[in-house]
Amino acid sequence: MISTMQSWLTQRHPATFGRVFEAFVVVWAALLCGYLPATLETERIVGTDPNVFATILSPFRGPILAHPLVETGFVIGMWLFGALWLCQRWVPISPWLCAVFFTLAWAVRLENMGKTIHVSHLSALMLWILAWWRQTTLSEYLNARNQRTPWSGLYYPEWVFQTCLAATCIFYGWAGWSKLIESGLDWPNGISMQLWTRLWGNPHFFATQWILDSRPLATFLQAMSLTLEVFAPLALLSKCRIWIGMGLVGMHLGIVSVFGWGFHGNMIIIALLMLPFRNWFEEGQLNLFPFLNITTTKPGAVS
């Protein structure tokens, strides 16, 4: 185990996958921040229970935190530094500030809502890990840029991929285990699934009526979701990763189709990390260079 971790710290891969993953996470985070001003008047309820510790901003809850301009300012900051990050300007300052402003923008919203919404959590984790990557490999990135290989230079460490994967596995694993701790094996009873479908289900999607008409189907879908979340940490094992990944992607596809909840980004993050996209990029089966009009060599991984 120690030798494996040491290898993760030293091993370098072509940055193509890392840059694609990075670009997606930043763009998706910007879209999530766009959701905040769009729903400022409809979903923002000032007056969260003062005894509930919701985010890192809970100790500062009060009139200032409740002012709409605070949330809007953080959103604008995230967009500004996210754009600089995508343009590879002010690295690594722009990645850190992008992660900070994204986290603060959503923390303000959660402090002023009467419900919990967790579409932003995984994206926030990914932003912090990617900012950490850019900080620790700044000299390697600058060297790759000087050599005109900013997309394929060997400055994507194995630990970045493994940390993103571990964070995703822990996030979903805790989601499953928290359901078991709170509700036990009674959580997948089918009744709650049918109630959610009745309240928020898309009446135009064919599976919505199936769920409403069949308690066994609703129970099965809940049980499968719980099972996938509980065993999500198994994706840390390469032999299980693709199966857990396909299951979680299918789960999110169902959630998005039936309920329309905004887990599109989570679904794509899971697919990029758990399906063999990194191998396809490194083996040249997915080649972005013609699209990007970049002339470069094709280096292999090194330790």
% of the chain residues with pLDDT over 70: 88
Mean pLDDT within 264-270: 96
Q: Tell me, what's the pLDDT at 59?
A: 76
Q: Measure the CA–CA gap between 47 and 53, rounded to whole angstroms.
A: 13
Mean pLDDT within 277-297: 66
The angle at the Cα of 165, spanning 164 to 168, to the nearest 5 degrees, equals 85
pLDDT tier for residue 37 given thresholds of 50, 70 and 90: confident
Mean pLDDT within 168-187: 93
pLDDT tier for residue 10 given thresholds of 50, 70 and 90: confident
Q: pLDDT averaged over the chain?
A: 88
Q: What pTM value is reported for the model?
A: 0.90
Helix (H, G, I), strand (E, B) or coil at 156: strand
Per-residue pLDDT for 173 more than 90?
yes
Tell me the two tokens of residue 255.
Answer: 């959630």
For 74-106, the pLDDT digits (tens) are 999 999 999 999 999 999 999 999 999 999 999
Q: Tell me, what's the pLDDT at 283?
A: 78
Per-residue pLDDT for 236 more than 90?
yes
Mean pLDDT within 185-202: 92
pLDDT tier for residue 295 given thresholds of 50, 70 and 90: very low
Per-residue pLDDT for 284 more than 80?
no
Mean pLDDT within 248-259: 95
The answer to whether 123 and 24 have CB atoms below 8 angstroms apart is: no
Residue 302 has φ and ψ, to the nearest 5°, of -130, 160
pLDDT tier for residue 297 given thresholds of 50, 70 and 90: very low
pLDDT tier for residue 288 given thresholds of 50, 70 and 90: low
For 126-153, the pLDDT digits (tens) are 999 999 999 999 999 999 999 999 988 9
Tell me the two tokens of residue 65.
Answer: 């935190």
Q: Tell me, what's the pLDDT at 9?
A: 75
Lowest mean pLDDT among 144-148, 192-196, 205-209, 294-298: 294-298
Q: Tell me, what's the pLDDT at 111?
A: 84
| Helix locations, 87-214, DSSP H | 93-111, 121-136, 138-146, 158-183, 191-200, 206-213
Residue 52 has φ and ψ, to the nearest 5°, of -95, 125
Per-residue pLDDT for 51 more than 90?
no
